[in-house]
Structure 1
Amino acid sequence: MAEIAEQDLRAFKFERILNEDTGRKTLNLLGTIKGLPAIITAEKTAFNTTSPSLFVSPSEGLLSLTLLQKNDIYHWFLSTISQSPTSNAAAKVNLIYPCTDAHIKKYSAQQLHMVVETPEIYEKYVTRYITQKTKGGRLNWVYNILDHKAESEKIVFEDEDREVGFILLPDLKWDLVTMTSLYLSVIVHRTDIRSIRDFTPIHIPFLTSLRSKVLTAVSQKYSLPADLLKIYVHYQPSYYHFHVHVVHISHDMGGSATVGKAILLDDVIQTLRLMEKGGSLIGYKDLEMTYVLGEEHDLWKKIFEPLGKGEEPTI
C-alpha cells in the first residue's frame, strides 16, 4: 500500500500554487494524478534535536555553504544539510487524492472574515449546511478509523465504550518525531454530536472524562505533563463528527489556532457548568458565536455574505 501511495505521489502533475506561507514554511499545490484532481501540502520540518549531526559534527552535517555576508564577529550562510526521510527529513508532505472542490477551497489563499452566528442563523441556515456535509459518504474516513479499517496501527489509546469512548491517534499534521510540534486527534465513538453546538450541561461528565483520559494517555505515551498540552475544539470544525485536537503548547498552529476558531475544551466545560448553575435548559445552540471564515468557505458564500448584503441565504 505504501508503494502504491508513493507511485501516486510521484505521478502528480502540477497545475498551480494554492497557497504559501513563508513564515510557517508551508506550500499547497494543486495538480492531477491519473487525470483526477489532487492536492499536495508540504511543510519544512523542524531540526532533529534527538540525533543532531548538524550540531555535533558540522563538518558532516553541513554538505555545502555559501557565505552571504560577514560583519565583525557575525557571519551569515546559506547551506544544505545531511538529511534522510527517517531521521532528518527535509519536509513533511501530505497528499489528498482524489480531492474535492471543498478541499481546493480549504487549501487556497483567501481573505478571512469575522462572522457572528446568532442562534437564529444557526437554527435556520447552519443546521441545514451541517446536514448536507454529513451525507454522501463524507465521513467514511472517520468511520474507517473508528471501525479499525484504517490507521489502526497508529492508535495511541482507545476507550471502546460507545457512549463515552474515543480513539486517540496522531494527526496527519504531525511528523511523529518533533515533540514540540506534537499533534494528536481525539475522535469519539458516539455519532450524535456534530459540533460544540450540540452540547448542553448534560454532556459535562462525558467531556470531563474524555479530558482526563486523554491527558493520562498522552502523558504515559509521550512523557508530557498536562501543562504542556493544549486541548481544544474548532468551530466551525473541518468535519461534523465531534473530535478534539491535542497539541504541544509550543506548537505554532497558524490559522487553525485563530481567535474565534480554536476553543479550549476547558472553556467549553466551564461554559456548560455556568449554564447548569443558571438552572436553564440552554446549551451551545442558544449562544451567539463569533468566529472566522475564509471567503471561499461555503458558509461565507451561501449564508453570511448574502446576509451582509440583505439577501436571503442560498443554502
Structure 2
Amino acid sequence: MRSPLNAKIPSDSRFSRLLDRDTVAAWVFLAPALILLGIFVLYPIAYLFFLSFTTDSFTRAGMRWIGLRNYWRLLLSPDFWQVLGNTVYFTIATVIPSLVLPLGLAVLLNQSIALRGLLRAAYFIPSITSLVAVGLGFRWLFQTDGIVNDGLAALNIPAVPWLQDTFWAMPVLILLSIWKQIGFNMVVFLAGLQTIPISRYEAAELDGANAWQQFRYVTLPGLRPTIVFVTVTTAIFTLRSFEQVYVITGGGPMNSTNLLVYFIYDQAFAQFDFGYAAAAATILLIVALLLVYWQLRSLHEAERPNEE
C-alpha cells in the first residue's frame, strides 16, 4: 500500500497553473494593456464616482464629502429634468431613423445594381467627416438668411427661425445626427446581410414568399444580432452628443437643445461645480452600462437557438 508521504502533488493544482510558463507569458504580454486600461479608463471612472460625492474645487484642501447631496440636487432640479427630457427625445428621434434608413439602403445596395461601390462610399463619407466641420456647415445652412430659408422663399414659404425657435432647433440637431450615423449603420447592416445564407431565400422563394415576406421572415430574424448592435451603438452615440450642441445652438434657445453631455460640460467648466457634474456623468455612465448589458444579453439569447 502506497504511503501518503509518497503521494504525488497533482500537477494541475491552481498554484502550478498560475506558475505555468504559458500563463506567465500571457500575463506579461497583457500587462501593458491592463496598466493603460487601469490608468486611463478604470481610475478615471473610479475618481468620477468619488467626485460625485464631493463638492467645491478639484484641490484636496477645498474638497468636502457631502454624500448623496449632488444626486438629490439633480432629482430636485427642473433644469436637469428638462435636459433629461431633451436627451430622451433626441435619442429616440435619432435612433429610429438611424435604424430604418440604413437598413433600407443596405438591402438595396446588397442587390446587384449599377454603381453599387460608389454609392456605398458616398453614404459612408459622413461617418468619417469631422462633426465640428459638419456642425458649422449645418449652422450656415439653417441660419435665418441661410440657404434653407432661401429655398423656402423661392417656394413662397415664410422663413423659419430654425436655430432661434424652441421647436425647430432640436430637429436640426436630430437631422445632423441621423446624417452622421447613417453611413456607419449601413455598412454594419451590409455586413450582417452577407452572413445570411442564400439558401434561406431560395427556400422561401420555393415556398411562394414574396419580397416583403422574405424580408420579414428571413432578413429580419437573420439580422437580429446586427440590429441589437446597431441600436446600442447608435443610442450611445446620441447619448454622448456634444459637438453639434456646442457648435450650433449652445444649448439654446431657452435650454431647449441642452443635452446631458453638454449639461455636464457646462456645470463642470462654466459653473465649476465639479461634484454636481460628476453626479450627472455617473448617471450617464450607468445608462450606457445598462445599454451594453442589454446588448450582451440579447446577443446571448440570439445565439442560444443556434447552439441548441
TM-score (norm: length of structure 1): 0.22
Greater strand share, structure number: 1
Please identify the structure whose Cα radius of gyration is greater. 2
RCO higher in 1 or 2 (8 Å CA, sep ≥ 6)?
A: 2
